[in-house]
């Protein structure tokens, strides 16, 4: 295919898009994790009272999975909006639905006051949450990716997940002071509602930030040409089903947060498991792990721009899965120091090899026409499958059973192996130009040119609107460097090209490389960037 525009050159909208993705992800995952925490600590007693504590735990954790059952529906609807009406519009819809449904959970009556209506309303609102969150990460990742300068897509897209980790910190912080200050009876009566109601502040801030972000040039250009698809979901499934299956497999890595936040909490504090760790002590574990993750994520995203997306994803998947054993074992033997250490290593460091990279890797597997739909549907199917794991874990290794942590750890590691294999089977994308993403045989930009353009992007240069690459140099080759062309020549060619595109230089601004002659010129399919 022939490229029609360069990668985004300026960084103002890149930063605005990253901020927008950050705040939206923070709200989505704040809501997600306060529900996960409440489902382990509060909901079994308030919404699912039973003489058998095991039944209450299983029923409460099952509502967590029910929310994810709605995600495929939300992925289809919100993916369609993102690919036909714009990434920005889809992100605003996600934000408002998620924020309002979370606040409504904080106002629900308990089973003692409303009877069966209480758990029924809880399930209904969880379904709304699941519908809304289905398009959040895919929409935010696509918007950031399409605004990011070439060679920096992994770095900028990682901020969507840094926001997610920040949201988890806020969720833990929201519960920690309440668990300290309020008596247990007061906390169970109304204290647990406060974190749900506080989401209104993030909702308002996120709405105004997202309104300030412009639509991506890639989508605007496609819409202006009348090429926006009428049925992006069908197009994604028909033409990119294999990459969707890979994303489903990689998304099974969500088993790590399931183990870290939900089953770790259940084993630590629920009476049925017999560990009886203090809830306030346990709540510090994910909080510290997330603090470390917030620092680590941009470095891993930047690292993936240097070495590729696949290596950190594969290594992070396998090693974080192995540490699931050690983490659950430390909780089972009531060793808070060991649990802290393994939580930080598993959740704060190793898991980020996957978590910081998928916001760039997933959308890079799909073309602009079906990017949001392809990623949203595939990722939410994978998340839906992992969200059903808590109920499975509770059934296979119920509270009080011998070897429950070992059994759950083994199952979790097996799932991470599947995720690593899915990442291994995917093609590398970090040096593919934006216009060619989603093409199975797209050529990569040669390393010398790529790193030269990456250095210019990292320098923070800003400039004019992107120019057409073919107008900059009549002899410019879209493929790899000539054999024998030096790194210096490649660097010169990329530097001149980038400055020409940013500063409005005409086609004479780029001199041909020293070895470029009629016999050596060639055009390969245009790689992105």
Res. 356 pLDDT band, cuts 50 70 90: very high
- Mean of the pLDDT values across residues 365-371? 93
Q: Looking at 157-161, 252-256, 273-277, 291-295, which range is the least confident one? A: 273-277
Element (H, E) at 216: none
Weakest mean pLDDT among 145-154, 183-192, 288-297, 352-361 = 183-192
Task: Let me know the angle formed at the C-alpha of 82 by 249 and 307, rounded to the nearest 5 degrees.
Answer: 45
Report pLDDT for 120.
Answer: 85
Q: Across residues 244-261, what is the average pLDDT?
A: 87
What local confidence, expressed as pLDDT, does residue 43 receive? 78
Report helix, strand or coil for 162.
Answer: helix
Query: All domains of the chain, ordered by start, with CATH?
Result: 10-228 (1.20.1250.20), 229-440 (1.20.1250.20)
**Mean pLDDT value of segment 199-226:** 84
Mean pLDDT of 137-151: 90
pLDDT of residue 358: 96
Q: Distance between the two ends of the chain, CA-based, in angstroms?
A: 13
Residue range 80-137, pLDDT digits in tens: 999 999 898 898 898 889 889 989 998 888 877 888 888 888 888 888 988 888 888 8
Paired tokens of 440: 């199975």
Q: Residue 466: its pLDDT value, please?
A: 42
User: Tell me, what's the pLDDT at 483?
Assistant: 32
Rounded CA-CA distance 304/431 in Å is: 11
CA neighbor of 384 nearest in space, from 25, 171, 74, 139: 74
Euclidean distance between CA atoms 226 and 234, whole angstroms: 18
Can you give the pLDDT at residue 477?
A: 39
Mean pLDDT, the chain, integer: 77
Cα–Cα distances (Å) from 93 to 85, 134, 203, 430, 473, in that order, read 12, 11, 11, 30, 43
DSSP assignments along 342-357, one per residue: HHIIIIIIITHHHHTT
Residue 506 has pLDDT above 60, yes or no: no
Give me the phi and psi of 394, to 5 degrees please.
-65, -30
Return the number of other C-beta atoms located less than 10 Å from residue 182's C-beta.
Answer: 16
Distance, in Å, from the CA atom of 527 to the CA atom of 149, rounded to the nearest integer, reads 15
Which alpha helices (DSSP H) does 344-486 contain, by range? Answer: 352-355, 358-364, 371-387, 389-396, 404-425, 447-458, 469-472
What pLDDT does residue 263 have? 65
Cα–Cα distances in Å, from 382 out to 352, 360, 386?
18, 17, 6
Q: From CA 298, how far away is CA 300, in angstroms rounded?
A: 5
Whole-number Å distance between alpha carbons of 452 and 456: 6
- Per-residue tokens: 515: 């070895």
Helix ranges (DSSP H) in 53-133: 53-69, 71-84, 87-105, 111-114, 117-133
pLDDT at res. 10: 53
The pLDDT tens digits of the residues spanning 474-498 come to 333 333 333 333 444 444 444 444 4
Q: What is the pLDDT of residues 234-246, one digit of tens each?
A: 999 999 999 999 9
Q: How far apart are CA 104 and CA 29, in angstroms?
A: 16
Q: Is the pLDDT of residue 300 over 70?
A: yes
DSSP one-letter code for 253: G
Task: Give the pLDDT of residue 3.
Answer: 43
Encode pLDDT of 417-461 as tens digits.
999 999 999 999 999 999 899 888 888 898 888 888 888 877 764
Q: What is the pLDDT of residue 485?
A: 39
Report pTM: 0.76
Confidence at residue 482, expressed as pLDDT on a 0 to 100 scale: 36
pLDDT at 249 over 90: yes
Residue 33 near residue 171 (C-beta atoms within 8 A): yes
**Choice between 524 and 386, residue whose per-residue pLDDT is larger:** 386
Measured CA angle at 356 (ends 222, 159), to 5 deg: 65
Which residue bears the tokens 């036909």? 84
Best CA proximity match to 53, nearest among 64, 65, 63, 40: 40
Token pair, residue 89, equals 């519009």
Q: Is the pLDDT of residue 519 over 50?
A: no
pLDDT for 76 beyond 90: yes
Q: Which residue has the higher pLDDT, 411 or 521?
A: 411
- Between 198 and 489, the higher pLDDT residue: 198
Distance CA 527, CA 306 (A): 17
For residues 431 and 307, give the distance between their C-alpha atoms in angstroms, rounded to a whole number: 10
The pLDDT of residue 283: 66
């Amino acid at each position: 295919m022939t490229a029609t525009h360069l990668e985004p050159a300026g960084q103002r909208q890149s930063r605005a898009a990253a901020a927008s993705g950050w705040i939206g992800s923070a709200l989505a995952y704040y809501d997600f994790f306060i529900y996960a925490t409440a489902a382990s600590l509060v909901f079994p007693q308030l919404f699912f009272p039973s003489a058998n504590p095991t039944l209450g735990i299983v029923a409460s954790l099952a509502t967590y999975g029910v929310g994810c059952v709605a995600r495929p529906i939300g992925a289809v609807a919100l993916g369609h909006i993102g690919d036909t009406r714009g990434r920005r519009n889809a992100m605003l819809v996600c934000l408002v639905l998620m924020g309002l449904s979370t606040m409504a959970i904080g106002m629900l009556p308990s089973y003692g006051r409303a009877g069966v209506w209480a758990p029924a309303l809880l399930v209904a609102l969880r379904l709304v949450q699941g519908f809304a969150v289905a398009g959040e990460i895919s929409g935010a990742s696509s918007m950031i990716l399409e605004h990011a300068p070439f060679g920096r897509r992994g770095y900028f897209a990682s901020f969507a997940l840094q926001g997610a980790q920040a949201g988890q910190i806020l969720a833990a912080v929201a519960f920690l002071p309440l668990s300290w200050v309020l008596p247990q009876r007061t906390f169970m009566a109304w204290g647990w509602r406060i974190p749900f109601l506080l989401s209104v502040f993030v909702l308002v801030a996120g709405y105004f930030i997202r309104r300030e972000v412009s639509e991506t040039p890639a989508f605007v250009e496609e819409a202006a040409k009348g090429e926006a698809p009428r049925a992006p979901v069908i197009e994604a499934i028909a033409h990119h089903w294999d990459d969707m299956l890979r994303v489903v497999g990689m998304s099974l890595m969500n088993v790590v947060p399931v183990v870290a936040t939900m089953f770790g909490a259940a084993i630590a504090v629920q009476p049925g498991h017999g560990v009886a760790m203090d809830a306030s002590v346990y709540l510090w574990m994910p909080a510290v792990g997330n603090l470390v993750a917030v620092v680590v994520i941009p470095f891993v995203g930047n690292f993936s721009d240097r070495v590729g997306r696949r290596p950190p994803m594969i290594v992070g998947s396998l090693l974080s899965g192995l540490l699931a054993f050690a983490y659950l074992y430390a909780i089972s033997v009531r060793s808070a120091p060991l649990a802290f250490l393994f939580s930080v290593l598993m959740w704060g460091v190793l898991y980020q090899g996957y978590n910081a990279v998928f916001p760039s890797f997933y959308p890079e597997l799909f073309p602009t026409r079906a990017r949001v739909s392809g990623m949203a549907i595939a990722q939410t199917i994978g998340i839906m499958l992992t969200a059903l794991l808590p109920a499975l874990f509770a059934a296979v290794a119920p509270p009080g059973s011998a070897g429950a942590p070992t059994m759950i750890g083994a199952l979790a590691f097996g799932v991470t192996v599947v995720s690593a294999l899915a990442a291994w089977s995917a093609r590398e994308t970090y040096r593919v130009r934006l216009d060619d993403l989603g093409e199975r045989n797209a050529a990569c930009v040669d390393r010398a040119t790529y790193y030269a353009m990456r250095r210019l992007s990292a320098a923070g240069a800003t400039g004019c609107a992107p120019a057409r690459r073919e107008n900059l140099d009549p002899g410019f080759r879209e493929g790899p460097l000539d054999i024998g062309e030096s790194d210096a020549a490649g660097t010169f060619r990329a530097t001149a090209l980038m400055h020409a595109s940013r500063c409005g230089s005409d086609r004479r601004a780029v001199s041909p490389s020293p070895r470029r002659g009629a016999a050596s010129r060639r055009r390969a399919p245009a790689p992105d960037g």
